[in-house]
Chains A and B, each alone.
Chain A
């Protein structure tokens, strides 16, 4: 299995809702990442997990809460989002050394109404 699977592919949520994005990989990668991508912009790094521990938080607002319950799963919990948080959320994984490149999922397209 050489894929990163993200669910759901599309999500519409209200500003008072709580939802979660899920990411799964079975490549034995011990580093996992969340990126946010607005239209016509490059992906922006949000969080980095290394060996299931949060190692980088790029000053992301607390309404985004990541979780890595095991080495194969990465979640992003969403609460009280704003319309400007609407974006494509990408998950990626890699060997912890970073060698060999990152494998990205196809993303969750989030719309906040």
Chain B
């Protein structure tokens, strides 16, 4: 029973912004939105996470709608090395595994292809 819905694939021109959408309409008040990516033949890589405010780090920006039912991951200037599968995951964190914290469970993700 997937908690998130993502498009299976997207293309983006190199140098342009890549905007990856995620729907999580049943998100609970204590669930965070996490984004990971997996480049071919590597382990998944943490990108960013947020609860309700927009977040930015050196890799990406995360925009969460006011009702928290959807979010967008933005890679501001996509490069060929950003070609990967991007996973949007909602989960409870902060309280510890023994106190309701949920482990990371992956959905199908979005395969982003950056094209030269």
In the complex, the answer to whether A56 meets B107 with C-beta atoms within 8 Å is: no
Q: A42-B87, A42-B107, A43-B106 given as contacts; is B43 within 8 A of A98 (CB)? A: no
For B44, what are the chain A residues with a Cβ–Cβ distance below 8 Å? 43, 90, 92, 102, 104
In the complex, the answer to whether B49 meets A97 with C-beta atoms within 8 Å is: no
Which of A48, A100, A102, A103 has the most CB atoms of chain B within a 10 A radius of its CB?
Answer: A102
Chain A: CB-nearest residue to B99: A97
Q: A42-B108, A55-B97 given as contacts; is B49 within 8 A of A106 (CB)? A: no
In the complex, the answer to whether A96 meets B43 with C-beta atoms within 8 Å is: no
Q: A33-B103, A45-B105 given as contacts; is B96 within 8 A of A101 (CB)? A: no
In the complex, the answer to whether A48 meets B93 with C-beta atoms within 8 Å is: no
A48→B97 CA distance, assembly (Å): 9
For A97, what are the chain B residues with a Cβ–Cβ distance below 8 Å? 93-96, 101
Q: A43-B44, A90-B44, A106-B43 given as contacts; is B94 within 8 A of A99 (CB)? A: yes
A66→B116 CA distance, assembly (Å): 44
In the complex, the answer to whether A42 meets B109 with C-beta atoms within 8 Å is: yes
For B95, what are the chain A residues with a Cβ–Cβ distance below 8 Å? 97
In the complex, the answer to whether B103 meets A96 with C-beta atoms within 8 Å is: no
A97→B97 CA distance, assembly (Å): 7
In the complex, the answer to whether A104 meets B103 with C-beta atoms within 8 Å is: no
In the complex, the answer to whether B46 meets A102 with C-beta atoms within 8 Å is: yes
Tell which of A56, A90, A103, A105 touches B103, judged by Cβ atoms closer than 8 Å. Answer: A56
In the complex, the answer to whether A48 meets B103 with C-beta atoms within 8 Å is: yes
In the complex, the answer to whether B43 meets A105 with C-beta atoms within 8 Å is: yes
A97→B99 CA distance, assembly (Å): 9
Chain B: CB-nearest residue to A91: B43
Residue ranges of B at the interface with A (Cβ–Cβ < 8 Å): 34, 36, 38, 41-46, 49, 85, 87, 91, 93-98, 101-109
7 further A-B contacts with Cβ under 8 Å, apart from A55-B97, A97-B101, A100-B46, are: A4-B43, A31-B97, A45-B103, A45-B104, A98-B96, A98-B101, A104-B43
- Nearest 4 A-B pairs (CB), nearest first? A104-B43, A101-B46, A98-B93, A42-B106
* 28 pairs, A vs B, C-beta closer than 8 Å: A33-B104, A42-B85, A42-B87, A42-B109, A43-B106, A44-B106, A45-B105, A50-B96, A50-B98, A92-B43, A92-B44, A92-B104, A96-B96, A96-B97, A97-B101, A98-B91, A98-B93, A98-B97, A98-B101, A98-B103, A99-B93, A101-B34, A101-B36, A102-B44, A104-B45, A106-B42, A107-B42, A107-B43
